[in-house]
């Protein structure tokens, strides 16, 4: 199961949407364990300056202005193996 760290200031609907679709959701402040993706609010630009975030190798998704469905789609797209139709 893919683990996604979500910034605490984001809507609980985003966490719920990810959990309901098979993702293990952890709070961004407690993500010292390995995560597969990071979802941020975009409100705090300095969070991207955190070297531990950039060194994690996990994609960082800025959820600013996105619905929970759009956030899920972005996470799913980034974590899915490349598919050719």
Residue length of the chain: 85
pTM, two decimal places: 0.78
pLDDT at 58: 86
Q: Which residues pair with 60 in a beta bridge?
A: 38
pLDDT band at 6 (very low <50, low <70, confident <90, very high): very high
Q: How many helices (H) and strands (E) in the chain?
A: 3, 4
What confidence tens digit (pLDDT) does each residue in 19-73 have?
999 999 998 876 566 889 999 987 655 554 554 555 567 899 999 999 999 999 9
Contact 10, 39 (CB under 8 A): yes
Query: Do 58 and 66 contact (CB within 8 A), yes or no?
Result: no
């Amino acid at each position: 199961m893919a683990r996604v760290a979500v910034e605490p200031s984001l809507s609980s609907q985003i966490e719920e949407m990810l959990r309901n679709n098979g993702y293990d959701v952890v709070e961004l402040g407690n993500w010292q364990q390995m995560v597969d993706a990071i979802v941020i609010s975009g409100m705090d630009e300095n969070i991207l300056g955190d070297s531990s975030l950039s060194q994690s190798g996990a994609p960082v998704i800025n959820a600013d202005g996105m619905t929970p469905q759009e956030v899920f789609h972005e996470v799913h797209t980034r974590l899915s193996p490349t598919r050719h139709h």
